[in-house]
Structure 1
Amino acid sequence: MELFGHLFSSYTWKALIAFYENDIPFAFRALGPDQPENGARFAELWPIGKFPMLVDGGRTVMESSTIIEHLQLHHPGPVRLIPESPEQAIEVRMLDRISDNYVMGNMQRVVANALRPPERRDPVEVDQAKAALETAYRWLDGWLGGREWAASGRFSMADCAFGPALFYADWVHRIPDELANVKAYRARLLARPSISRCVEEARPYRPLFPLGAPDRD
């Protein structure tokens, strides 16, 4: 299998965590100016250009959540990231979407604004995104009460999503100290070997963070 992405990319992390949790062998195809051949093949297979993308034999799989579903179906391991129970699976998928849409999505709004030329930056957009992040944090803090992981009582695809989402979101808009459940959950995620591996692999790319990477984590 081949996974196309970038080691500093939050959605690439999400897929990588699933590979690392079950020690699934694969070849990583880094996308960047130093690997033009990977970029050319990626563009040919997926002209929309959003990564990660998985190539497994004759099948191409786009989108991180779908990649995780594909791995569980075709390359299962001891860590089941989507529960067999349909009810628990719904909860996992719900939290996965909440993470991507309301934590990762709002974090990326702030980052995207910083990447624009100064004359095109929009402070109102940033304020709105940070307010939405704060709302998501506060909802998640209540949801996490009495829970170790996000859904189904075990580490799941939802945690694969929240790992990178909360890692970067806290850089963009600090999780308030009073939201102890979210802060403790983020710490548990970063202590998970699959996620800490992503953190370390991405460390050389921190100068790329447009807002300036904080001197922590």
Structure 2
Amino acid sequence: MTDIHLYTAATMNGYKPVIFLEEAGVPYDLTFIDFSKQEQKAPDYLKLNPNGKIPTIVDRSEDRPIFESGAILWHLAERYGQFLPYDPVGRSEVMQWLFFQVGHIGPMMGQAMYFQRIAAPNGHEEPFSIKRYVEESRRLLEVLDRWLEGKEWIAADQYTIADMAIYPWARAYLWAKVSIDGLPNLQAWFDRIDARPAVQRALTIPKAQPAFWGQADESDFLKENAARFASDVISER
């Protein structure tokens, strides 16, 4: 039995702990959470994650669950001593950019995706909301581009959990319909992470979603994805 049991799905947040585990070579068990069956709201799962979201891990060595993707990355980095610098300044820089993803990139790009890829196909068109979230997502990617000038990685001059957290969201700019034209430093950073075999492997676990990354015709997946979350739109009307 492995120490880490991961509950996840093929989403931007869901890929984050998989990237760490694959990069670190840590063995783990995986349970796929099926949103279409509302498995994230099942009573047994809510005992692990009271917010009813993914991902969640159970660290059997400590006999406890950890939820929230940023907290999971931090826990894994501390536990396995990888992808997190030891010096206080470096650790602080990683923490700042981890929170930047959790507090800004994820929420803004997530809403850009929601209103365009779920709400609109289900008959809930919100042009003002789409404009707001797409423009704010672009602004955040510009922040990253400026920061990455002359740098290979986001924080502490090394590949860390900050890169792992930001990458699945920022790299899905096409799915969010956000342009990265004129952002060469960001594109170069994407290219560096795209070239990492462990990352490409992670993006197929528990399921590949090539439409997120602009690597497949999105039309069929758009219908499937919109239908999967249709109940969310109906409940908000």
Judge same fold: TM > 0.5, yes or no: yes
Does the 8 A contact of 1:68 with 1:157 survive in 2?
yes
Number of aligned residue pairs: give it. 207
- The whole-number CA distance in structure 1 between the counterparts of 2:166 and 2:66 is 21
Q: CA deviation at 1:141?
A: 1.1
* Matched letter for residue 110 of structure 2: Q
- Which residue of the partner structure matches residue 105 of structure 2? 103
- Which residue of the partner structure matches residue 51 of structure 1? 54
TM-score, with normalisation over the residues of structure 2? 0.78
Going from structure 1 to structure 2, the CA distance change for 1:153 and 1:123 (only over 3 Å counts) comes to same
* Matched letter for residue 85 of structure 1: D
Does the 8 A contact of 2:83 with 2:161 survive in 1?
yes
Does the 8 A contact of 1:163 with 1:195 survive in 2?
no
Q: CA deviation at 1:166?
A: 1.4
- The whole-number CA distance in structure 2 between the counterparts of 1:128 and 1:141 is 20
Does the 8 A contact of 2:134 with 2:178 survive in 1?
no
The answer for unaligned runs of 5 or more in structure 1 is: 211-217
List per-residue Cα deviations over 1:109-158 (Å, max 9, x = no partner): 02222323645331111101111111112121111011001110110011
SS in 1 for 2:58: strand
User: Percent identity between the aligned chains?
Assistant: 23
- Which residue of the partner structure matches residue 134 of structure 1? 138
SS in 2 for 1:4: strand
What pairs up with 1:159-170 in 2 under 5 angstroms? 159-170=163-174
- The whole-number CA distance in structure 2 between the counterparts of 1:198 and 1:36 is 22
Residue 89 (1) aligns with residue 91 (2): yes
Does the 8 A contact of 1:137 with 1:175 survive in 2?
no
Residue 67 (1) aligns with residue 69 (2): no
RMSD: 2.5
Residue 26 (1) aligns with residue 28 (2): yes
- Which residue of the partner structure matches residue 7 of structure 2? 4
Q: CA deviation at 1:63?
A: 1.0
Does the 8 A contact of 1:5 with 1:29 survive in 2?
yes
- Which residue of the partner structure matches residue 213 of structure 1? none
Residue 125 (1) aligns with residue 129 (2): yes
List per-residue Cα deviations over 1:30-81 (Å, max 9, x = no partner): 10157969955313322311111111122111111211222233333xxx22
Give the stretch that moved more between structures: 109-118 or 130-139: 109-118
What pairs up with 1:186-201 in 2 under 5 angstroms? 186-201=190-205
Does the 8 A contact of 2:40 with 2:54 survive in 1?
no
Give the stretch that moved more between structures: 180-189 or 198-207: 198-207
List per-residue Cα deviations over 1:90-113 (Å, max 9, x = no partner): 111111122233322211102222
Residue 41 (1) aligns with residue 44 (2): yes
- Which residue of the partner structure matches residue 218 of structure 2? none
What pairs up with 1:204-215 in 2 under 5 angstroms? 206=211, 207=221, 208-210=224-226
Q: CA deviation at 1:175?
A: 3.5
